[in-house]
Structure 1
Amino acid sequence: MKFKKSKKQDITLENDELETQGERKRRLISLYIVHFSMFVVSLGSSIIFTGVYPYLLNLEPEVGLAEYGMVVAADAAAQMVFSPIFGFITDRLKTVRPVALGSCVLFSGGNILYALVGIFPRIGPVTRSRVWIMLAARFIVGIGTAINSTSRYYVSMATKIEERTSHIALLSLFQTLGFIVGPGIQTGLAPLGHKYIPADGGLIFDMYTSTGWIGGISGCLCLILYLPGIFTEKYIAAKELEYKKTHKEAKEAEAAAKETEAANAAAKVKHRKISHMEIGPSIEETKKENPRKLLKSYSRISVVDGAVNFSHLEELEEIEEESEASDDTNNNKKDQKKERKMAPILPTITCTYNNFSFMMNFVLLETIVTPLAMDMWGWTQEEAIVNIGFVMIGGGVLSLFVFATIGPLSKRFNERILLLIAGIIPMILGRVVMFPFPGAGYPPVASGLIPGGGGSNNVTTTTAFDTTAFEDYDYDLVVESVNERAAAIALTTGCGYDWCSEIPKITVAQFMIGYVFATLGYPFCVALNASIYSKVLGDIPQGFWLGLLTTSGSLSRVVGPLVVTGIYENYGTYLTFGLVTGTLVLSGIITLISYKKLVPPVTNH
């Protein structure tokens, strides 16, 4: 009696053939090192999010939102350029360690430079030298964060298909937690306070510079994790695909053999009919029948049996032609599999744009959340940093629970449906909720020592602080005036843009509700989009293509700060939130258009 093997038994057998228990343990340890390094790098990068704007004001009191947007975009610009380069190098070297170690060194060095910007003297209010030094520091940090593409490559190549969605979700979870916990640490550093940095420079340790030192230490920790003896690379994706192909080809060969055997048996029967066709009556008939009946038998042969013989020959020719056609079809399929080196176009466009759109919405909060809190609700620098930090900590806890559900849900439901319903739609709702509603009142008018209505971040005064007038003053007097200016900016609260008296404010309740919706949808978006794309790529080298995915996210973090700060400063919140909402709507549309193509190549065959 034969027992049919269950699917679970097949998986267990497959696992035993692919790796031993010891190899599996080392592979999982390496995966969790990559996950943790993603958290460390993200934390070191995001810890400055809420503090970089007031830190920049302390360094250069005359700075505007345009320079602030450039600083925020600098690390993303570096990541955008170097992610595909690092992905290409990883594909060539077939190892992630060199790229990972180099990225950690650059990441640590860039953060330390960020903490030391204050030691450089301020060379006049016009050149704003410290802005450029900070921009360089953030650019170096961005090169280090390009390790993200290498991390995604390793997770894709070191996991089996059944594990991949869960581990890509974990990778996105650690990255998102780093982005959210970082500002929380900045909140915890608020008791250190901030110190006014002298114009001639000095080593300052306060709530802003301490974040740079923490980022540098986290980079060193990441470096240690990737050293030989701690991190051991274990790749299994290619072995699994080869295993599945081998077994699939074996089954196809077995089925083809049975078909061929059946066809040969049928052909033998037909050949036997032809070869044993007797011209005239048989020997037994000649003994039994009389001569008249024998003559009738011979007359029937020429009319009937001759035609039957010819029809058998035609059938044999048809069988041979069908067999040759079947062989040609199988050869063509094998050639197609060998020639598949490029990623499918439509899924690649869809997934890369989706990543761009999702990161654009993340950039919205990353860039303007601190100025928004100061403008909309009249909070001071310290209040904005502390309160927004607590909000992001709460978002991190919520994200933890959301990410934990992605793996189990993806096994029960179609990933594409989850991406649309649990990801994109909540993200859209989160942005729509943040639109200012009539009747909510207007933002508080800017207060402090800034004349001219420039607000807390856009100085338009041309009286006491006219930059062209500094040429006629003694430099020491200029330094003293600028330091007084920094103190004035630190006390400034409220909204001072032209649109502040025309567009209603966003209430705290609106912001919180929208933030919750976005926090619920964002994990599904980034995790499932990356998982779907990795599966669509199949067995082609994925380093470059996953680097391209990271580049799309980096591009949004380059364009986003520049565009968002410009639109927010000049046109207000309606157009700002309308723009990012439009990117999400377009993301939903193209996902629906390419829905049938967002499947692994095995399914297509």
Structure 2
Amino acid sequence: MASLNDDECTPLLQPSHTGDVVESQQQNKNRWWSIRVMYLTLFLSSVGFSIVMTSIWPYLQKIDASAGTSFLGWVIASFSLGQMLSSPLFGFWSNHRPRREPLVVSISIMIAGSVLYAYVHVPASHNKYYMLIARALVGFGSGNVAVVRSYVAGATSLSERTGAMANVCAFQALGFILGPAFQACFTFIGEQGVIFQAIYLQVNMYTAPALMGALFGIVNIILVFAVFREHTVDDLGKPTPSINSDTDDSDRDSEEAVDQVAVVSSNIIFFVILFCFAVFETIATPLTMDMYAWSRSTAVFYNGVILAVVGLESLIVFIGVKILSKKVDERVLLLGGLVIIWVGYFILLPWGTEFPKIQWTDLQNNTIHHFSLWDSLTTALSNHTVEPTGCPASQSWCFYTPVIHLAQYLTSDILIGVGYPTSNVMSFTLYSKIIGPKPQGVYMGWLTASGSIARTLGPVFVIQTYTHLGPQWTFSLTCAIVAVSIVLLFAVYKKLIAFPIRNRRV
């Protein structure tokens, strides 16, 4: 049997322990069940973002043919914009009131947005705006990520923190990655699906994922009421009054004691990590359709399978990080994760003399320069006979850019599947330790907001750059962005240390 101090070697869902924790066995059990409910909440928030990502465009075209590519960008961005606005608000709320309040309200908003998404086909007009509102509501509700992170940070000792944060990242990353896999499973329902006339509901490949998300949200609320309780411990693991209770805070360190340079730098690095993941998730379907002449359904299915495999890989990485962090400095692991991400994108740079198959069916009246990647997809969706495949002739770079071989693409997926979870867990594990015993709701709100901005700008960046300049510029610029974050990490390396170590020399 493993010793109680062997906390980082425990399985992913098992609690960590430290010999200095002064609490009963029942208190410890209740504390970790509450933390597990937070894991589930974060997983569902991530699934809410990713589960419809690969089907938003065809669903939007199905319900409202007037929706253009620019509106698609707003629909995709609305989730992250909603989360960006709500994260600091929910974080502030959790600092001053019981966390159950913002949790239940935020999950209820997510459920409402998911149900609305399943009904956006019902109105006679302006359907695209209803979809925009639905995704914004789901994003706004997902701002509870700040509440989850602040709670886990406050409910774990310093020695437990890395293991718990690895679990937090595991559930968040799995939500992002497995969402498209769920969508791939629902493709077998088809576009028609099953219609329930009495409640005006059509359950098909587009609405079923959203309805499943709503069902999960209901289960989540039940668990918050039945299982979740407020628990707070200090850096040594001794139970303390909740940080949002009415206890005297006069003995706490002043706000100025937090190293603001380290805080800002951590937010920037976290932004880059989430930006790279957004690029990775957004580019998968169009890249494989262009490079390998995959049809729309083939690309959605195979990329869903690939992302599911990457999700399992990430799970193994998270377990490995928990073990490795006991022997390797967390800053070194963060640096290693960023380097692996850089290599993953560098491998995607096209080379060789083989070129992709050209799709000519987009050409109409010699107006090539008016077309884009998403216009090509529109043409494919409106073709009811044979779906055109290949790299659209409207993208001029298709004629002179070498094909990205399938081996390159799969190798890149594997590397990013290692680098992303490693750097992700280390970035905000260090962040929570830098903040220390402070109420972390607002701080975690800003960290979540920086991630939301990254997920907003990432798709816009990759769509515009890939469509007009091609994969060579897209992945070169991404490598440059990661390289800048590595330089920043070196510059602030000595500042990224835990609050009690910096202030008390523990």
- One fold, TM greater than 0.5? yes
Q: What amino acid does structure 1 have at the position aligned with 2:343?
A: L
Q: How far is the alpha carbon of 1:443 from its aligned partner?
A: 4.3
For 1:489 and 1:140, locate their aligned partners in 2 and report how far apart those are by CA, in whole Å: 37
Residues 252-291 of structure 1: pairs in structure 2 closer than 5 A? none
User: What is aligned with 1:387?
Assistant: 302
More helix by share: 1
Q: Label 1:427 to 1:550 Cα distance change in 2 as closer, same or farther (>3 A).
A: same
User: What is aligned with 1:226?
Assistant: 224
Q: What amino acid does structure 2 have at the position aligned with 1:110?
A: G
User: What is aligned with 1:445?
Assistant: 359
User: What is aligned with 2:60?
Assistant: 56
**How many corresponding residue pairs?**
470
Residues 108-119 of structure 1: pairs in structure 2 closer than 5 A? 108-119=111-122
Q: How far is the alpha carbon of 1:64 from its aligned partner?
A: 4.2
Q: How far is the alpha carbon of 1:552 from its aligned partner?
A: 0.5
| TM-score, length basis structure 1 | 0.73
Contact 1:381 1:490 survives alignment (8 Å) = no
Contact 1:65 1:565 survives alignment (8 Å) = no
User: What is aligned with 1:577?
Assistant: 475
Q: How far is the alpha carbon of 1:32 from its aligned partner?
A: 0.9
Extract unaligned runs of 5+ from structure 2: 7-16, 194-199, 241-249
Q: Label 1:392 to 1:489 Cα distance change in 2 as closer, same or farther (>3 A).
A: farther
1:159 to 156, 161, 164: 156
Q: Tell me the C-alpha RMSD between the 2 structures.
A: 2.8
- Bigger CA radius of gyration: 1
SS in 2 for 1:491: coil
Contact 2:344 2:413 survives alignment (8 Å) = yes
1:604 counterpart = 2:502 = yes
Q: Label 1:408 to 1:51 Cα distance change in 2 as closer, same or farther (>3 A).
A: same
1:401 to 307, 311, 316: 316
1:106 to 106, 109, 112: 109
Q: What amino acid does structure 2 have at the position aligned with 1:105?
A: S
For 1:144 and 1:511, locate their aligned partners in 2 and report how far apart those are by CA, in whole Å: 34
For 1:431 and 1:59, locate their aligned partners in 2 and report how far apart those are by CA, in whole Å: 36
Q: Label 1:489 to 1:345 Cα distance change in 2 as closer, same or farther (>3 A).
A: farther
1:494 to 379, 386, 390: 390
Contact 2:232 2:239 survives alignment (8 Å) = no
SS in 2 for 1:14: coil
1:81 to 79, 85, 96: 85
Contact 1:419 1:525 survives alignment (8 Å) = yes
For 1:165 and 1:446, locate their aligned partners in 2 and report how far apart those are by CA, in whole Å: 53
1:426 counterpart = 2:340 = yes
For 1:502 and 1:562, locate their aligned partners in 2 and report how far apart those are by CA, in whole Å: 24
Q: Label 1:171 to 1:194 Cα distance change in 2 as closer, same or farther (>3 A).
A: same
Q: How far is the alpha carbon of 1:430 from its aligned partner?
A: 0.5
Cα deviation per residue 1:111-168 (whole Å; 9 max; x = unaligned)?
11112111123x4xxxxx3332211111000011111111000000000111000000
1:436 counterpart = 2:353 = no
Q: How far is the alpha carbon of 1:448 from its aligned partner?
A: 7.1
For 2:399 and 2:68, locate their aligned partners in 1 and report how far apart those are by CA, in whole Å: 21
Contact 2:79 2:136 survives alignment (8 Å) = yes
Contact 1:441 1:504 survives alignment (8 Å) = yes
Q: Label 1:562 to 1:485 Cα distance change in 2 as closer, same or farther (>3 A).
A: closer
1:205 counterpart = 2:230 = no
Contact 2:180 2:307 survives alignment (8 Å) = yes
SS in 2 for 1:411: coil
Q: Label 1:485 to 1:359 Cα distance change in 2 as closer, same or farther (>3 A).
A: closer
Contact 2:397 2:469 survives alignment (8 Å) = yes
1:138 counterpart = 2:36 = no
Q: How far is the alpha carbon of 1:37 from its aligned partner?
A: 1.8
Q: Label 1:59 to 1:356 Cα distance change in 2 as closer, same or farther (>3 A).
A: same
Q: How far is the alpha carbon of 1:487 from its aligned partner?
A: 4.0
For 2:70 and 2:258, locate their aligned partners in 1 and report how far apart those are by CA, in whole Å: 38
Q: How far is the alpha carbon of 1:44 from its aligned partner?
A: 3.1
User: What is aligned with 1:322?
Assistant: none
For 1:499 and 1:368, locate their aligned partners in 2 and report how far apart those are by CA, in whole Å: 16
For 1:80 and 1:555, locate their aligned partners in 2 and report how far apart those are by CA, in whole Å: 7
SS in 1 for 2:353: coil
Q: What amino acid does structure 1 have at the position aligned with 2:288?
A: A
SS in 2 for 1:117: coil
Q: What amino acid does structure 2 have at the position aligned with 1:381?
A: R
Contact 1:444 1:494 survives alignment (8 Å) = yes
Q: Label 1:562 to 1:117 Cα distance change in 2 as closer, same or farther (>3 A).
A: same
For 1:444 and 1:337, locate their aligned partners in 2 and report how far apart those are by CA, in whole Å: 65
Q: How far is the alpha carbon of 1:459 from its aligned partner?
A: 5.9
For 2:252 and 2:89, locate their aligned partners in 1 and report how far apart those are by CA, in whole Å: 27
User: What is aligned with 2:232?
Assistant: 235
Q: Label 1:242 to 1:118 Cα distance change in 2 as closer, same or farther (>3 A).
A: closer
Q: Label 1:60 to 1:46 Cα distance change in 2 as closer, same or farther (>3 A).
A: same
Residues 198-597 of structure 1: pairs in structure 2 closer than 5 A? 203-227=201-225, 229-237=226-234, 240=237, 338-341=253-256, 343-421=258-336, 423-447=337-361, 453=368, 454=371, 457-458=374-375, 486-488=382-384, 491-496=387-392, 497-597=395-495
Q: Label 1:382 to 1:338 Cα distance change in 2 as closer, same or farther (>3 A).
A: closer
SS in 1 for 2:374: coil
SS in 2 for 1:204: strand
For 2:404 and 2:158, locate their aligned partners in 1 and report how far apart those are by CA, in whole Å: 44
Q: How far is the alpha carbon of 1:511 from its aligned partner?
A: 1.1
| TM-score, length basis structure 2 | 0.86
User: What is aligned with 2:11?
Assistant: none
Q: How far is the alpha carbon of 1:602 from its aligned partner?
A: 2.3
Extract unaligned runs of 5+ from structure 1: 1-6, 124-128, 197-201, 244-334, 466-483
Q: Label 1:370 to 1:12 Cα distance change in 2 as closer, same or farther (>3 A).
A: closer
Q: What amino acid does structure 2 have at the position aligned with 1:37?
A: T
Contact 2:278 2:458 survives alignment (8 Å) = yes
SS in 2 for 1:587: helix
For 2:373 and 2:191, locate their aligned partners in 1 and report how far apart those are by CA, in whole Å: 17
Cα deviation per residue 1:360-404 (whole Å; 9 max; x = unaligned)?
111112323222222222222211111101101110111111010
SS in 1 for 2:401: coil
Cα deviation per residue 1:567-588 (whole Å; 9 max; x = unaligned)?
2222221222222222211111
For 1:212 and 1:337, locate their aligned partners in 2 and report how far apart those are by CA, in whole Å: 44
For 1:187 and 1:106, locate their aligned partners in 2 and report how far apart those are by CA, in whole Å: 25
Q: Label 1:559 to 1:578 Cα distance change in 2 as closer, same or farther (>3 A).
A: same
For 2:143 and 2:18, locate their aligned partners in 1 and report how far apart those are by CA, in whole Å: 37
